[in-house]
Chain A
């Protein structure tokens, strides 16, 4: 059913159609509207047979989901940013125990400095925790991915994180086709746990494992994610046959088959990139796009297949591994490792802490990549002037004070000066 609907509400309705049995809620911007929607639906009976639990922290939210999942219930929670870090220990625990929990991550920057706006730092912080991570490009895909995520999680008995850009997706009102209950029921079988706490057949879960078996337990986690490389496209194809639209899969490409330069990106920024590519193509420039949906498992082979014929690859990502560069670019490098004549990979760090990624800036950086590619990471729209001033000041004054506040003051001064000029 087509609805003009906020992204969070669309996701809540899609999650509700998956018949979650235990939902744990703790507020954190920008995912809060999702659990608010679910709470309302559980109250009104729109979601039947569901325990909606308001907990006291994100750590408790995922812990309650762990208990519920181990006891055989379909469990869901949502978080973002600081909340994800606060539950980080439980994030690893859920995947280590092999519990098929689905969690929405409303992607948001991590402080300090505190920042509520969108980037992918939170997802990257736990990308190696054993959870599968699927990134939505649109609100339609955000809704659809949740339905696929429960099926994927439960088939492999491994948790799945559905990553949706905070505000850009969670708070945007768009047209979304909300599936019918009967269709979701046909697509998503009821949860049959591979391990369950039951007094009729008592088992112990969570024993201490020493060097004798720890490697094997970890290997099997890794192996399950390699199985997901096959299941994710399979479930996306089945989804398309039932619901009639492309959602999910490992990756998608756009005008990339013959492209000399291919952009790689994840999440909602792909829309802007496609528009930019259309404009560049109109100017006769050979540019294409590969949109990664699955970051974990990382589709190394599928990505290599898409990129190998290009001359240059530009990875545009909303994350920064401080001291290293772009984590996504690093992963893309991996896909091209040991490939003879592989394209050069160039990293663009963009949109940190919610800075808009504009077509103008994309044009500038992609045109530069065609003529003058760079080494290392390029920070899109970096305000080099205030950075230079701050560095100069720090060299001069030992007790230079807090960096973030210094930069804000400089921005304020610049704004004042501009205002004075305008007035004169």
Chain B
């Protein structure tokens, strides 16, 4: 066994186990082989010990987004959280996983509370301290939508991050306006002539954000954390209202294996159902090309919330409609090289 193999074995056995801001993970590994998690410079806004489910996409997304924001601002971040999974699993009284000042007020007001934080920082002459609002899709695209739009329209200096797991997972997996058509939830059961969620018009809050003409809008995924971090860094380099929607698979709500979180996040992008793009001042400036296009079946099949679609003729027809939505995204955002260049 050569030395390198030994080191790798040691790495495999290590847990990235952290307390406070002192990182003790993989310290036995040589510096250049250490993962980014091991860096003592890592801001580590969201520490271990929180109570997210195994394979939670939101915990992963929140941690990378907040850490990137901390790096971008030298740690000068105040986080506001809407009610929801992220709020509940990070702060079971009297414990907290947040290493940054953090405020939870209500379900539907995170954007407005963050506006207040930003205003206070301006008036106190501390505009280097930046406000970030966070919420799930329910807290963002449904109940918090009024406050979100108000914050956009005033162009308040707030980055709003929506962790989109496509439903009300904290209350037991109910439908939100971000739930995809056809998906089974507790309030859209796979029963009757129209099983699962309705095929409505859809509600793309990233597009609505773009329509507000705010300085920066982006979508990101936990399948590409470097891209996610880059977008957060970009957002923090801009003043005014900014919106980032991160697609975060939810093993509990989607009926998927916890080890499939990253895979599903990637498949959502590669099939075209979750387009990755950036926009500035109302204009889409870039989109991430799909490297290996897959049919929506590949993304839907590992999720039990879509299982009913695969068992009937009508279900197959609905999968066809979902494929149509993916195709529309691919055309609209030029997600394929050939189309983009054409």
Contacts and interface: CB of A to CB of B under 8 A. Distances in A.
Interface of A: 21-22, 24, 49-51, 53-57, 59-60, 63-73, 75, 89-90, 93, 97, 197-199, 201-210, 212-213
Nearest to A57: B146
B112 A67 contact: yes
Contact of B105 (A24, A51, A206, A209): A206
Interface string B224-256: 000000000000000000000000000000000
Contacts of A70: 103, 113, 116-117
Interface of B: 75-78, 80-81, 87-88, 91-96, 98-106, 108-109, 112-124, 129, 131, 146-147, 149-150, 153-154
A54 B96 CA distance: 33
A212 B92 CA distance: 11
Contact of A67 (B93, B102, B115, B129): B115
Interface centre among B76, B100, B103, B116 (most CB of A within 10 A): B116
Nearest to A89: B106
Contacts of B116: 22, 24, 53, 63-71, 73, 75
Contacts of B131: 67
Contacts of A201: 101
Contact of B75 (A68, A69, A75, A199): A199
A65 B106 CA distance: 13
A116 B149 CA distance: 28
Contacts of B154: 53-55
A390 to B, nearest CB: 38
Main secondary structure of the interface of B (DSSP, over half): mixed
B103 A73 contact: no
Nearest to A22: B119
B147 A51 contact: no
B78 A72 contact: no
Given A22-B123, A71-B116, A202 B147 contact: no
A10 to B, nearest CB: 25
Interface centre among B105, B108, B121 (most CB of A within 10 A): B105
A305 to B, nearest CB: 40
A199 B100 contact: yes
Given A69-B116, A89-B106, A208-B88, A51 B123 contact: yes
Nearest to B115: A64
Given A50-B123, A59-B147, A89-B106, A208 B91 contact: yes
Contacts of A206: 81, 87, 91, 102-105
Contacts of A56: 146-147, 149-150, 153
A198 B120 contact: no
A195 to B, nearest CB: 10
30 contacts: A21-B123, A22-B123, A51-B119, A56-B147, A56-B150, A59-B109, A60-B150, A63-B105, A63-B106, A63-B112, A65-B116, A66-B105, A67-B112, A67-B120, A70-B113, A70-B117, A71-B78, A71-B120, A71-B121, A72-B120, A90-B105, A197-B103, A199-B77, A199-B100, A199-B101, A203-B102, A204-B103, A207-B91, A208-B88, A210-B92
B22 to A, nearest CB: 15
B169 to A, nearest CB: 16
B296 to A, nearest CB: 37
Contacts of B76: 199
Contacts of B105: 63, 66-67, 90, 93, 97, 206
B93 A208 contact: yes
A5 to B, nearest CB: 27
B122 A51 contact: yes
Nearest to B128: A199
A67 B76 CA distance: 16
A340 B124 CA distance: 56
Nearest to A50: B123
Contacts of B80: 67
A55 B112 contact: yes
A73 B124 contact: yes
Contacts of B123: 21-22, 49-51, 73
7 nearest A-B residue pairs (beta carbon): A67-B116, A206-B104, A56-B150, A71-B120, A63-B112, A63-B109, A73-B120
A76 to B, nearest CB: 12
B108 A59 contact: yes
Interface centre among B80, B114, B123, B154 (most CB of A within 10 A): B123
Given A56-B150, A208-B93, 12 more contacts: A50-B123, A60-B147, A63-B115, A69-B116, A90-B106, A93-B105, A197-B117, A202-B100, A204-B103, A207-B95, A210-B92, A213-B94
Contact of A197 (B78, B96, B108, B153): B78
A207 B50 CA distance: 13
Interface centre among B81, B98, B121 (most CB of A within 10 A): B121
Contacts of A69: 116, 120
A69 B105 CA distance: 12
A22 B124 CA distance: 10
Contacts of A202: 98-102
A333 B123 CA distance: 47
Contacts of A89: 106, 108
Contacts of A212: 93
Nearest to A68: B116
Contacts of A199: 75-78, 100-101, 129
A44 B175 CA distance: 49
Contacts of A65: 116
B87 to A, nearest CB: 7
A73 B102 CA distance: 16
A66 B116 CA distance: 7
A89 B108 CA distance: 10
Contacts of A24: 116
Contacts of A54: 154
A69 B115 CA distance: 11
Nearest to A54: B154
Contacts of B106: 63, 89-90, 93
A37 to B, nearest CB: 19
A53 B91 CA distance: 30
B117 A67 contact: yes
Contacts of B119: 22, 51, 53, 64, 67-68, 73
Contacts of B94: 207, 213
B81 to A, nearest CB: 8
Contacts of A22: 116, 119-120, 123
A56 B104 CA distance: 21
Given A60-B147, A60-B150, A90-B105, A207 B96 contact: yes
A73 B119 CA distance: 9
